Chain A
Amino acid sequence: MSLERRLSHWVEAGLIDEAAMARILAYEQRDRRPVLLWALAGLGLLAVWLGMLLLIAANWDRIADWLKLGVHLLLLAAAGLVAWWARGQERPWLAEGALFLFAGLAVGGIALQAQVYQLTGPTWHLLLLWLAIAGPALWLGGATRLTGLLLAALALAGPALMAIDHWDRGGFWLLAQGAAMAVPVLLLLLSLLAGPDRPGFRLALRQVGVFAILLGASLVHLAWADALPPRLALENLVRLSPPLLAVAATLWLARNGVGGLPRPLWVALLVAPLLAVALAIAIPHPDRILSRILGIAVYGGLWALVARGAVQAGQNGLFAVAVAAIAVRIFLIYVELFGSLAATGGGLVGGGLLLLGLGWGWQRLVAHRRRMPAG
């Protein structure tokens, strides 16, 4: 129901008068974010961006290479200049649009040079170079969700593709793969450092970081359904050292009051996911029913902690996601029917009790809050 209709109902019920309704509407209008406008602007910029890439891809062989490269550098410089000038003039729309195009022109430049000089290589080379040259400008100049989402996507894509491409390599590559695994936590860390003067940018980094952390920690429990030999477990232990450092650095910042990450979420979003990943891939285990049940229990425990943290932090959306995640896994048990009917039944009963417990706990917490004196 829209705010206007709800307020009209309240006026009809005699809860507030017309004047109060007008004041509330005026207040809400002032703080309302132009979501539709941002969405349209974002889509428009994305279309311009993709169009530029295709124009470059068309490879105009009647135009001299030096002219193509020169015009591209001029366009890049112009977009950068507009972003810099608009930021100084406090024109956020123009600055954001120019910065978004600037980042697009940066990858266009890499593609253009690849075309002119016949450079080939894996896609992650291009994505990592793009992150290295456009990432700092996005980080320092980004102010809204638009640039925040672009930076988060860049930070995730290149390292992830690199890790997948070289997953079977050892030595240094284990740490490189670990660095890619640490990116979701690093996004959360960056969101703490982003500062309150650019809430949209900070929120985009935090939401993508949290989403990637919880998605990764959830999917990794599938590793319990396969045997993990000691050699692979040891390699995974090395891979986990960069995420461990990232979690430690993020916790240190949070403890020092940087970024305003609610305290009840520290364990749920940082410690518990790392622990869930470590248990699944860094400790040798056989392919047995018990391992699978343990995997589901770790998954359930992780999301139960997230649900508890979300309730304590007053984040109802995250709580709903946690309950949905547990519910989905419970019904997947019924579908996969692993082992025996007894094991499946036991898993379902356990999961159902966990859901009931969550509901009961939530209800108690809400009641406790209501009893607490205001302030």
Chain B
Amino acid sequence: MNHRLFLAALLLPLLVLAAGIARNEAGRRDAELWRIPVEGFDPRDTLRGLYVRFSYAFEVRGDAASCLAEGGCRLCLSAEGDRVVATVQSAPGQCRLPVDTLASRMDVRPGPTAGGIVFGNRIFVSETSAPRLRRELAGGGMDLVAELGVDGRLVSRRLERR
């Protein structure tokens, strides 16, 4: 019995990790692809490797200060020419697929301008590409390619030159 229980315990991490892969892949299947301009810098995470911290350079409309609350807010993304506009959703159902700032683990904080709010995030990058990305980000003109899942999570996929 104990031997079988031990086998079940050994299978547990395999099943949980496999389920994690399946859940994340299922979330990607129906995701929308967005290109959002970003600005950034690059500290490092010793556990999960290098990452780039950036702020979304989209134009924010609506009551952005409400996004500072504990529950976060929802942003409706739209493209206007070359620009991306993020409108703070004031009531449910204003857009088909809103971005959930909490689920997207966005770092929302007051910006340098009066009343301005900055929306930030981070993306894990490889050790080999980190130096190049550092230089390119310092030069500006970078886009984030991100997938917006049906659960409202905006998942950063890669950084590209505009």
Interface residues of A (CB under 8 A from B): 53, 56-62, 69, 72-73, 76-77, 80-81, 83-84, 87-88, 102, 105-106, 109-111, 113-121, 123, 126, 129, 132-134, 136-137, 139-141
CA distance A169 to B45 in the complex (A): 27
Q: Are B13 and A113 in contact (CB under 8 A)?
A: no
* A116–B13 alpha-carbon span in the complex (Å): 18
Closest-by-CB residue of A relative to B154 is: A118
- Confirm or deny: B114 has a beta carbon within 8 angstroms of a beta carbon on chain A: no
> In the assembly, what is the distance between CA of A119 and CA of B156, in Å?
9
Interface residues of B (CB under 8 A from A): 2-3, 5-7, 9-14, 16-18, 20-21, 24, 45-50, 105, 121-129, 155-157
Which 4 A-B residue pairings sit nearest by Cβ, starting from the closest? A57-B49, A61-B126, A136-B9, A80-B10
Complex alpha-carbon distance, A60 and B17, angstroms: 20
Instruction: Kindly state the separation between the CA atoms of A77 and B10 in the bound complex, as whole angstroms.
Output: 8
Contact present for B7 and A76 (CB under 8 Å): no
Would you call A115 and B124 a contact (CB within 8 A)?
yes
Interface pair A88/B3, CB less than 8 Å apart: yes
Cα distance, A119 to B154, chains bound together (Å): 11
Please indicate the chain A residues that have their CB under 8 angstroms from the CB of B155 in the complex.
117-118
Bound together, the chains give a CA A134 to CA B49 distance in angstroms of 22
User: Is the Cβ of B6 less than 8 Å from the Cβ of A113?
Assistant: no
Contacts of A57 in B (CB 8 A): 45-50, 127
With A58-B127, A60-B126, A120-B122 known as contacts, the answer to whether A111 contacts B13 (CB < 8 A) is no
A61 to chain B, nearest CB (A): 4
Contact assessment for B21 and A69 in the assembled complex, using a CB-CB cutoff below 8 Å? yes
**A219 CB to nearest B CB, Å:** 28
Residues of A within 8 A of B128 (CB): 61-62
Contact B127 A59 (CB under 8 A): yes
> How far in angstroms is the closest Cβ of chain B from A119?
8
A133/B12 in contact, CB under 8 A: yes
Q: List 28 A-B contacts (CB under 8 A).
A: A57-B47, A57-B48, A59-B126, A61-B126, A61-B129, A76-B13, A76-B17, A80-B10, A80-B11, A83-B10, A84-B3, A87-B6, A109-B17, A111-B48, A113-B17, A113-B21, A113-B24, A117-B24, A117-B155, A126-B47, A129-B16, A133-B12, A133-B13, A133-B17, A136-B9, A137-B12, A140-B2, A140-B9
> Contact check: which of A61, A87, A115 meets B48 at CB < 8 Å?
A115
Residue of A nearest to B18 (CB): A73
State A136–B6 Cα separation when bound (angstroms): 8
Nearest-Cβ distance from residue B77 to partner chain A, whole angstroms = 17
Residues of chain B within 8 A (CB-CB) of A134 are 13
